[in-house]
């Protein structure tokens, strides 16, 4: 696998589905905003716009921002496997380990990306909240952004953050932004709306002292993608590792990729295809289903633990969503029309909201802001996908039977007859 720098990403082989969705991206309403990677650094009203990537993981934000023409000055991640990917994919950029060890942001930083750890926030995590041992490191972010210069902060986190501890995690975040005079806006956005068949709803938040964050997150709105009912005529994604409570059933796509176990045991979802095959995607396909070039985490470095790549991909931000945000930071748009409702302190958090100095407002925005055709998950299927073992598939079927969840008609019957792992799927 060739290594590539920020502008060398075109060296990677792209699947037909990615190429097609890329084409769609170029023809979408944001075409005029796109800037080729070779166009050089952007200059805003305060000079070159440099990005500092905190909690950078494998650089989903930074890949997208660099494609839109922003320079990255430093990347920070505590995970050695993530740092190995960052060093290989962003050659020449300083990579540091612990956000807690930073005394200040580089002086030229104008944008901070911070997809902070979500283990204490997610449904799958321990739900200890924003002050939990992993997520609490976000406090350091507020020390770093307390400086007087104009700065824009971009955050991505799990949907559950809105509900956790009766909304206290969000309260904590916005209280701090407001006390530092940042205007903020957030919106739940679904990767499925960005040309990738992965149902991944995440909270994207922008806080800024100089930009109006509404002109970034709320300039685009599209509700033309309807909801499809599950049927066996179309591929159905599901988590075979679950079964008693929800299974994440997803029509013609996969449920959100997860970080997997801390031991690095991969647990990608499975897809039942109309031809009766039940297959799990390869790591390469999962990279593409997050919008990375295939092979992005394929680095020639000894890692601690087994298969850290699965964890890294499951933790990452979806690149096309990050690209949309980068494009809108570069060229803010006009705010679309939304119904606004005041957010009461101590109440729940809606799926979108803002405070630009006139109080906290909930906004009636959908989770798919731009018009993009979503390719079928079948376009990502190739010989690298595998069948499930007898144990895995039977285990799921038993749990599903016990759990009594409502499944599409004949779903379990077809799974019972599905071929098991004895050879690679064709
Ligand atoms: C949700 S992931 C962010 C993923 C990233 N946006 C991407 O596209 O890959 C959170 C990251 O924070 C890192 N992290 C946790 N504590 C940290 C710390 N104290 N300093 C730096 N990074 C930290 C984790 O290793 C993990 O990669």
**pLDDT band at residue 122, thresholds of 50, 70 and 90?**
low
Instruction: Give this prediction's pTM.
Output: 0.87
Domains contained in the chain, CATH given = 9-225+315-363 (3.40.50.150)
Cα 362 to Cα 342: distance, rounded to the nearest angstrom? 6
Q: Give the CA count within 13 Å in the CB-facing half-sphere of 369.
A: 30
**What band does 264 get if pLDDT is binned at 50, 70 and 90?**
low
Among protein residues, the one with the nearest Cα to ligand 1's atom 27 is 57
Indicate if ligand 1 lies below 6 Å from the C-beta of 60.
yes
Beta-strand relationship, 270-272 and 250-251: unpaired
Q: Which residues are catalytic?
A: 118
Instruction: Look at residue 330 and tell me whether its pLDDT is greater than 50.
Output: yes
Q: What pLDDT does 224 receive? A: 65
Q: Is 57 touching ligand 1 by the criterion CB < 6 Å?
A: yes
In this predicted model, what pLDDT tens digit does every residue of 43-100 receive, in sequence order? 444 356 899 999 999 999 999 999 999 999 999 999 999 999 999 999 999 999 999 9
Phi and psi angles of residue 17, each rounded to the nearest 5 degrees, phi first? -65, -40
pLDDT at 166: 81
Mean of all residue pLDDT scores within the chain: 84
In the predicted model, what is the mean pLDDT of residues 312-341? Answer: 96
- What residue's CA is closest to ligand 1, atom 17? 78
**Integer CA distances (angstroms), 216 to 202, 205, 249, 325, in order:** 16, 10, 31, 7
Helices vs. strands in the chain: H and E counts, helices first: 11, 17
**pLDDT band, very low/low/confident/very high, at 35 (cuts 50, 70, 90):** very low
Higher pLDDT, 117 or 151: 151
């Amino acid at each position: 696998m060739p290594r590539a720098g920020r502008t060398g990403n075109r060296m990677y082989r792209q699947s037909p589905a990615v190429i097609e969705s890329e084409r769609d991206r170029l023809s979408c309403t944001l075409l005029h905003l796109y800037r080729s990677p070779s166009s050089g650094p952007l200059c805003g009203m305060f000079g070159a716009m440099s990005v500092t990537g905190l909690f950078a993981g494998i650089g989903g934000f930074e890949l997208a921002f660099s494609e839109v023409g922003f320079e990255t000055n430093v990347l920070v991640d505590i995970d050695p496997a993530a740092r190995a990917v960052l060093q290989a994919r962003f050659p020449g950029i300083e990579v540091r380990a612990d956000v807690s060890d930073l005394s200040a942001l580089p002086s030229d930083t104008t944008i901070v990306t911070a997809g902070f750890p979500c283990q204490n926030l997610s449904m799958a995590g321990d739900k200890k909240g924003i002050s939990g041992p992993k997520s609490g490191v976000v406090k350091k972010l507020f020390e770093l952004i307390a400086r007087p210069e104009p700065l824009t902060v971009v955050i991505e986190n799990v949907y559950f953050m809105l509900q956790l501890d009766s909304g206290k995690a969000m309260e904590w975040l916005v209280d701090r932004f407001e006390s530092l005079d940042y205007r903020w806006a957030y919106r739940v956005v679904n990767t499925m709306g960005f040309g990738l068949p992965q149902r991944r709803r995440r909270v994207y938040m922008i806080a800024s002292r100089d930009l109006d964050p509404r002109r970034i997150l709320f300039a685009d709105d599209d509700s033309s993608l309807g909801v499809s009912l599950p049927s066996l005529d179309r591929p159905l994604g599901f988590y075979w590792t679950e079964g008693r409570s929800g299974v994440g059933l997803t029509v013609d796509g996969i449920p959100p990729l997860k970080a997997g176990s801390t031991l690095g045991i991969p647990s990608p979802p499975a897809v039942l295809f109309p031809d009766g095959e039940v297959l799990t995607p390869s790591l390469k396909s999962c990279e593409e289903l997050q919008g990375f070039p295939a092979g992005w985490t394929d680095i020639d470095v000894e890692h601690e633990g087994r298969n850290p790549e699965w964890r890294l991909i499951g933790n990452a931000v979806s690149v096309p969503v990050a690209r949309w945000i980068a494009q809108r930071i570069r060229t803010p748009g006009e705010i679309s029309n939304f119904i606004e409702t005041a957010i009461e302190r101590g109440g729940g958090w809606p799926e979108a909201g803002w405070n630009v100095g006139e109080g906290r407002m909930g906004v009636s925005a959908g989770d798919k802001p731009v018009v993009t055709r979503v390719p079928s998950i079948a376009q990502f299927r190739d010989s690298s996908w595998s069948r499930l073992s007898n144990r895995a598939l039977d285990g799921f079927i038993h749990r599903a039977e016990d759990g009594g969840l409502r499944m599409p008609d004949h779903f379990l019957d077809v799974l019972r007859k599905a071929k098991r792992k004895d050879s690679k799927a064709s």
